[in-house]
Amino acid sequence: MRKIFLIVMVIFTAQITLAQVKTIKGLVSDATGTPISGANINVKGEVNGVSTDFDGKFSIEVNSGATLVISYLGYVSQNVVVGESSTVNVKLNSAESTALTEVVITSLGLKKSRKSLTYSAQELKAEELTRVKDANLMNTVAGKIAGVAVTRSSSGVGGSTKVVIRGNSSVSNNQPLYVIDGVPFINISAAQPNDPFGSTAGGNNDGGDVVSLLNPDDYDGMTVLKGASASALYGSLGASGVVMLNSKKAKDGVARAKFSSVTSVENAAYLPEFQNSYVAGDKSPVTWGKNPDGTYKKGASGIDVEDFFNTGVTQISSLGFSVGTDVASTNLTYANTTASGIIEGNKLNKNNFGINQTAKFFDKKLIVNASANYASQSINNRPVNGLYFNPLPGLYAFPRGNDFNEFKNNFEVFDEARNIYKQNWVNGLVTEYTQNPYWLINRNKSVNENTFFKGTVAADLNVNNWLTLTSRYSYNSSESVFDKEMYATSAAALVHQNGRYVHTNSLSTFNYGDFLAKVNTKINSDFSFNGIFGTSFSKLSSTNGTILDSGINSGGLKYTNWFTLGNFINNASNQQVSGGNKEIQSVFTALTFGYKNYLYLDVTGRNDWSSSLSNTDTNSYFYPSVGLSGIVSEMVAMPDWITYGKVRASYAQVGNDIDANITSPANTILGGNIVAPPIGPRPGESLKPENQTAIEFGTDWKMFDNRLGFELTYYDSKTDNQLITVTAPSSDPNGYLNYAFNGGTVQNKGFEAVVYGTIVKNEKFSWDATLNYSHNRNKVTGIPEGLDDVLVLTPSGSNSYQYALIEGQPFGQIMGKNIVKDSQGRILLNEAGDVQLTDFEKVGCANPDFLMGLENSFNYGSFNLRFLIDARFGGEVMSVTQGILDQAGVSKASGDVRDAGGFVAVNALASDGVTAVTKMDAQKYYDKVGGRSGASGEYVYDATNVSLREISLGYTFNTKKLPFVNSASLSLIARNLFFFYKDAPFDPNVSLSSGEGLQGVDIYGMPSTKSVGLNLNVTF
pLDDT confidence of residue 203: 80
**Count of CB atoms within 10 A of residue 992's CB?**
31
Residue 12 has pLDDT above 60, yes or no: no
The DSSP annotation for 444-475 comes to S-EEEEEEEEEEEEEEEEE-SSSEEEEEEEEE
∠ CA 938-941-944, nearest 5°, is 170
Distance CA 993, CA 439 (A): 25
Residue 711 vs residue 114, higher pLDDT:
711
**Count of CB atoms within 10 A of residue 965's CB?**
14
The fold for domain 121-269+310-782+848-875+944-956+975-1019 equals Maltoporin; Chain A (2.40.170)
Asked whether the domain spanning 121-269+310-782+848-875+944-956+975-1019 has the same topology as the one spanning 18-93, the reply is no
Residue 702 has pLDDT above 80, yes or no: yes
Residue 236 vs residue 853, higher pLDDT:
853
Lowest mean pLDDT among 46-55, 475-484, 601-610, 816-825: 46-55
pLDDT confidence of residue 1: 43
pLDDT confidence of residue 5: 41
Residues 893-928 have pLDDT tens digits of: 999 999 999 999 999 999 999 999 999 999 999 999
Host H or E run for residue 886: helix 880-888
pLDDT confidence of residue 160: 87
Lowest mean pLDDT among 86-95, 560-569, 992-1001: 86-95
pLDDT confidence of residue 55: 67
Residue 317 has pLDDT above 70, yes or no: yes
Q: Tell me the sheet residues that pair with 809.
A: none
Residues 593-635 have pLDDT tens digits of: 999 989 999 999 999 999 999 999 999 999 899 999 999 998 9
Query: Are residues 493 and 432 in contact, defined by beta-carbon separation less than 8 angstroms?
Result: yes
Which CATH entry fits the domain spanning 18-93: 3.40.50.150, 1.10.3720.10, 2.60.40.10, 2.60.40.1120? 2.60.40.1120
Give residue 878's pLDDT band: very low, low, confident or very high (50, 70, 90).
very high
pLDDT confidence of residue 904: 96
Per-residue CA distances from 528 to 88, 524, 595, 654, 789 (Å):
37, 7, 6, 27, 52
pLDDT confidence of residue 95: 56
Residue 393 has pLDDT above 50, yes or no: yes
Maximum pairwise Cα distance, the chain: 132
Q: Tell me the sheet residues that pair with 702.
A: 644, 709
| Averaged pLDDT score across all residues of the chain | 90
pLDDT confidence of residue 824: 94
Distance CA 857, CA 867 (A): 7
Residue ranges per domain, the chain?
18-93, 121-269+310-782+848-875+944-956+975-1019
**Count of CB atoms within 10 A of residue 823's CB?**
5
Per-residue CA distances from 45 to 254, 329, 989 (Å):
8, 11, 49
Q: Where are the beta strands (DSSP E) in 285-419?
A: 312-324, 328-340, 347-361, 366-380, 412-415
pLDDT confidence of residue 100: 64
Percent of the chain whose pLDDT exceeds 90? 69
Residue 1019 has pLDDT above 60, yes or no: yes
pLDDT confidence of residue 966: 85
pLDDT confidence of residue 99: 60
Instruction: Tell me whether strands 148-153 and 990-991 are parallel, antiparallel or unpaired.
Output: parallel
Between the two ends of the chain, the Cα-to-Cα distance in Å is 48
pLDDT confidence of residue 748: 96
Residues 534-551 have pLDDT tens digits of: 999 999 998 888 999 999
User: What is the average per-residue pLDDT within 576-598?
Assistant: 91
Residues 138-152 have pLDDT tens digits of: 999 999 999 999 998
User: What is the average per-residue pLDDT within 225-235?
Assistant: 89
Per-residue CA distances from 171 to 176, 399, 579, 670, 995 (Å):
14, 42, 18, 29, 11
The DSSP annotation for 660-688 comes to TTSSS---EEETTEEE--SEEEPTT----
- Amino acid (1-letter code) at residue 23: T
Residue 336 has pLDDT above 50, yes or no: yes
Distance CA 784, CA 524 (A): 55
pLDDT confidence of residue 7: 41
Residue 719 has pLDDT above 90, yes or no: yes
User: What is the average per-residue pLDDT within 388-408?
Assistant: 96
Residues 254-301 have pLDDT tens digits of: 788 999 999 999 999 999 999 999 999 999 999 999 999 999 999 999
pLDDT confidence of residue 676: 85
Give residue 190's pLDDT band: very low, low, confident or very high (50, 70, 90).
low
Give residue 9's pLDDT band: very low, low, confident or very high (50, 70, 90).
very low
Give the CA count within 13 Å in the CB-facing half-sphere of 128: 22
With CA atoms as reference, report the closest residue to 38 among 47, 28, 48, 25: 28
**Count of CB atoms within 10 A of residue 293's CB?**
5
Residues 82-102 have pLDDT tens digits of: 887 888 888 887 654 456 667
Residues 639-660 have pLDDT tens digits of: 989 999 999 999 999 988 888 8
pLDDT confidence of residue 88: 86
pTM summary value: 0.88
pLDDT confidence of residue 896: 96
